[in-house]
Amino acid sequence: MTAVFLKRGRDKPARQRHPWVFSGAIARVDGEPQDGDPVDVRAADGDWLARGILNRRSQIAVRLLTWDPDEAVDANLWRHRLARAVDARARLPALAGTSAYRLAFSEADGVPGLVVDRYADWLAVQFSALAADRWREAIVTALVELIQPRGIVARDDPEAREKEGLLAAEGVVWGEPPPAHVEIEEDGLTFLVDVLRGQKTGFYLDQRENRRLVEPYGRGAQVLDAFAYTGAFAVRAWRGGAVSVTTVESSPEALALAEENLARNGFGGRTEHVVGNAFRELRAFRAAGRRFDVVILDPPKFARSAGHLEQAGRGYKDINLLALHLLEPGGILVTFSCSGLVGTDLFQQIVWEAALDAGRDVQVIARCAQAPDHPVALNFPESAYLKGLICRVW
């Protein structure tokens, strides 16, 4: 029987159901398993701990799938886990108003390396670990059976696939190709999503609850939506009653879609769209004496690895400092970090440092996290990545 034996004293994470076995924790591999094969994981003394899928090309050498010795790692396991995830979404009150949501969130849903996002009748799937990629066909078959979509598209996370030794493999994997823009609904608003080429799988589903929180702050406000992507926050601010909305975004394609999303929801008029680097554009706004009542900062992930943490901290501080300078007294700063490595406390500290430098008094009036279709598994704290603060700035 093939088995992975851990080094002495390295069994604790597996016993605590952490789903990753790092290559450095492995003493030896018995038998001749190929990468992608199921393996048992045993402690140094031979005690059975868990079962997972081997990938020696990755630093995460085994992705654990079950802690039940009677459960086989096979197509049935994937089908079972997906059925559970789908059922959980069907019973999430937060999803009542939307046709777009995350159906399965990788380790946090017991499906390591697999993300499934639903956009109306289409599914966008990311296979970002060999564990999931190896079961691609079984996963697609299970999704067809569970959801009956019109089509399924595979979207790559190239960085993650490279770490797993996987080649690019994007495209339609089942059914009809989606139109250039799939229309989705969220709380009575409609958005166009580029499921084949958009960022992530096309839309920032994880910000849904935070969009809901931000909407009422739009009332009577001049709003700046920085890192706007396709304008999801901008549209919300408009519906909340904003008197003007300015978006800043580096991707012209995304911003063109933002304009279209505003227009199709009936919000034309007092909008200004700036294609550019937010750091530069916010500095230019300050130089021009511009002021806003609400500033939303939703930058991309600045901290890609622990080695980037310091640089990322500076990035977050700089952009928050720039935003604070632009706010009217009593204005609202909505500020996010989607870097998993930047914890909630550290992020608050960074915003505080920016407040000190700006000479502004800042009060936290609400805290934000990822939407409930992106659950946080307690045995996998890494699944918590999105944090945000809604602040009153004096």
Distance from C-alpha of 121 to C-alpha of 135, rounded to nearest angstrom: 23
Distance from C-alpha of 285 to C-alpha of 282, rounded to nearest angstrom: 5
Question: Between residues 4 and 214, which has the closer beta carbon with respect to ligand SAH?
Answer: 214
| Nearest approach, Cβ of residue 345 and ligand SAH (Å) | 23
Question: Between residues 2 and 251, which has the closer beta carbon with respect to ligand SAH?
Answer: 251
| Nearest approach, Cβ of residue 199 and ligand SAH (Å) | 6
What are the helix (H) ranges across the chain? 12-15, 75-90, 130-133, 136-147, 158-163, 208-214, 232-239, 252-264, 278-287, 309-326, 344-358
Question: Between residues 293 and 298, which has the closer beta carbon with respect to ligand SAH?
Answer: 298
**CA nearest neighbour of 100 among 193, 34, 30:** 193
Contact 52, 64 (CB under 8 A): yes
Distance from C-alpha of 353 to C-alpha of 320, rounded to nearest angstrom: 9
Question: Between residues 97 and 165, which has the closer beta carbon with respect to ligand SAH?
Answer: 97
3-state secondary structure of 220: coil
What tokens appear for 378 in the block? 């307690």
What tokens appear for 170 in the block? 């994007």
Distance from C-alpha of 108 to C-alpha of 100, rounded to nearest angstrom: 19
Residues linked to residue 295 through DSSP beta bridges, in sequence order: 224, 333
**CA nearest neighbour of 367 among 354, 351, 383:** 351
The one catalytic residue in 338, 341, 355, 390 is 338
| Nearest approach, Cβ of residue 229 and ligand SAH (Å) | 3
Is 391 an annotated catalytic residue? no
Question: Between residues 105 and 135, which has the closer beta carbon with respect to ligand SAH?
Answer: 105
Q: In which order are the strands placed within the sheet that holds 3-6?
A: 20-22, 60-66, 48-54, 38-42, 3-6, 26-30
What tokens appear for 260 in the block? 């279209």
| One-letter-per-residue 3-state SS of 155-201 | CCCHHHHHHCCCCCCCEEEEECCCCCCEEEEECCEEEEECCCCCCCC
| Nearest approach, Cβ of residue 38 and ligand SAH (Å) | 37
Query: Which one-letter amino acid corresponds to residue 140?
Result: V
| Count of CA atoms in the C-beta half-sphere (13 A) of 90 | 8
Residues linked to residue 251 through DSSP beta bridges, in sequence order: none
Q: DSSP character for 116?
A: E
Question: Between residues 130 and 228, which has the closer beta carbon with respect to ligand SAH?
Answer: 228
Question: Between residues 216 and 300, which has the closer beta carbon with respect to ligand SAH?
Answer: 300
Binding site for ligand SAH (CB under 6 A): 199, 204, 207, 227-230, 232-233, 248-251, 254, 277-279, 298-300
Could you give the residue numbers annotated as active site?
Answer: 338
